[in-house]
Protein backbone atom coordinates (compact mmCIF):
# COMPACT_ATOMS: atom_id res chain seq x y z
CA UNK A 1 0.00 0.00 0.00
CA UNK A 2 1.24 3.47 -0.71
CA UNK A 3 1.12 6.31 1.81
CA UNK A 4 -2.12 7.71 0.34
CA UNK A 5 -3.94 4.39 0.76
CA UNK A 6 -2.46 3.88 4.23
CA UNK A 7 -3.95 7.19 5.37
CA UNK A 8 -7.35 6.46 3.80
CA UNK A 9 -7.34 2.97 5.32
CA UNK A 10 -6.58 4.30 8.81
CA UNK A 11 -9.17 7.06 8.42
CA UNK A 12 -11.79 4.48 7.39
CA UNK A 13 -10.89 2.23 10.33
CA UNK A 14 -11.28 5.13 12.77
CA UNK A 15 -14.90 5.66 11.73
CA UNK A 16 -17.30 3.96 14.15
CA UNK A 17 -18.36 0.68 12.52
CA UNK A 18 -22.04 1.67 12.60
CA UNK A 19 -21.26 4.96 10.82
CA UNK A 20 -19.07 3.66 7.97
CA UNK A 21 -19.97 4.60 4.43
CA UNK A 22 -19.81 2.19 1.51
CA UNK A 23 -16.58 3.94 0.50
CA UNK A 24 -15.10 3.25 3.97
CA UNK A 25 -16.13 -0.41 3.74
CA UNK A 26 -14.60 -0.79 0.26
CA UNK A 27 -11.33 0.82 1.40
CA UNK A 28 -11.15 -1.49 4.42
CA UNK A 29 -12.02 -4.53 2.31
CA UNK A 30 -9.36 -3.75 -0.28
CA UNK A 31 -6.66 -3.38 2.34
CA UNK A 32 -7.66 -6.42 4.40
CA UNK A 33 -7.81 -8.56 1.24
CA UNK A 34 -4.14 -7.76 0.62
CA UNK A 35 -2.99 -8.83 4.10
CA UNK A 36 -1.24 -12.18 4.27
CA UNK A 37 -3.05 -13.18 7.48
CA UNK A 38 -6.49 -12.65 5.93
CA UNK A 39 -6.03 -13.50 2.24
CA UNK A 40 -7.33 -17.06 2.82
CA UNK A 41 -10.78 -15.80 3.89
CA UNK A 42 -13.58 -15.95 1.36
CA UNK A 43 -15.11 -12.69 0.22
CA UNK A 44 -18.31 -12.84 2.35
CA UNK A 45 -16.33 -13.48 5.55
CA UNK A 46 -13.87 -10.70 4.77
CA UNK A 47 -16.68 -8.27 3.95
CA UNK A 48 -18.35 -9.17 7.26
CA UNK A 49 -15.11 -8.29 9.06
CA UNK A 50 -15.16 -4.84 7.45
CA UNK A 51 -18.26 -4.05 9.51
CA UNK A 52 -16.58 -4.84 12.83
CA UNK A 53 -12.84 -4.12 12.62
CA UNK A 54 -11.63 -1.06 14.48
CA UNK A 55 -8.44 0.90 14.87
CA UNK A 56 -6.55 0.98 18.15
CA UNK A 57 -3.31 2.61 19.21
CA UNK A 58 -1.18 0.99 21.88
CA UNK A 59 2.00 2.43 23.33
CA UNK A 60 5.26 0.87 24.46
CA UNK A 61 4.87 -1.57 27.34
CA UNK A 62 1.10 -1.87 26.92
CA UNK A 63 -0.03 -5.41 27.65
CA UNK A 64 -2.72 -6.54 25.24
CA UNK A 65 -3.30 -9.94 26.80
CA UNK A 66 -1.50 -12.41 29.06
CA UNK A 67 -0.79 -16.11 28.71
CA UNK A 68 -3.77 -18.18 29.76
CA UNK A 69 -6.36 -15.46 29.11
CA UNK A 70 -9.26 -16.17 26.79
CA UNK A 71 -8.72 -14.25 23.55
CA UNK A 72 -11.71 -12.09 22.63
CA UNK A 73 -10.23 -10.48 19.50
CA UNK A 74 -7.40 -10.53 16.98
CA UNK A 75 -4.80 -7.81 16.52
CA UNK A 76 -3.23 -6.93 13.19
CA UNK A 77 0.00 -5.02 13.55
CA UNK A 78 0.10 -2.17 11.04
CA UNK A 79 3.21 -0.42 12.36
CA UNK A 80 5.70 -0.71 15.20
CA UNK A 81 6.61 -4.00 16.82
CA UNK A 82 5.26 -6.41 19.40
CA UNK A 83 6.96 -8.84 21.77
CA UNK A 84 5.43 -12.28 22.26
CA UNK A 85 7.21 -14.73 24.56
CA UNK A 86 10.47 -12.81 24.20
CA UNK A 87 10.39 -12.64 20.38
CA UNK A 88 9.90 -9.44 18.42
CA UNK A 89 7.41 -9.34 15.56
CA UNK A 90 7.15 -6.63 12.90
CA UNK A 91 4.29 -5.92 10.49
CA UNK A 92 4.41 -7.68 7.13
CA UNK A 93 5.10 -5.66 4.02
CA UNK A 94 1.82 -6.76 2.40
Is a pLDDT exceeding 70 seen at residue 53? yes
Q: For the whole model, what pTM was predicted?
A: 0.82
Range in 14-18, 51-55, 76-80 with the lowest mean pLDDT: 76-80
pLDDT band of residue 80 (cuts 50, 70, 90) is confident
Mean of the per-residue pLDDT values for the chain? Answer: 89
pLDDT band of residue 94 (cuts 50, 70, 90) is very low
Q: What is the dihedral of CA 41, 52, 30, 92, to 10 degrees?
A: -70
Which ranges of 1-94 does DSSP label H, i.e. alpha helix? 3-14, 22-33, 43-50
Is a pLDDT exceeding 90 seen at residue 51? yes
Amino acid sequence: MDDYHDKRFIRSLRVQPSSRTQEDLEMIYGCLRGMEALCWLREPALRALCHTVRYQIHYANDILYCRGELATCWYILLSGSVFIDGSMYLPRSR
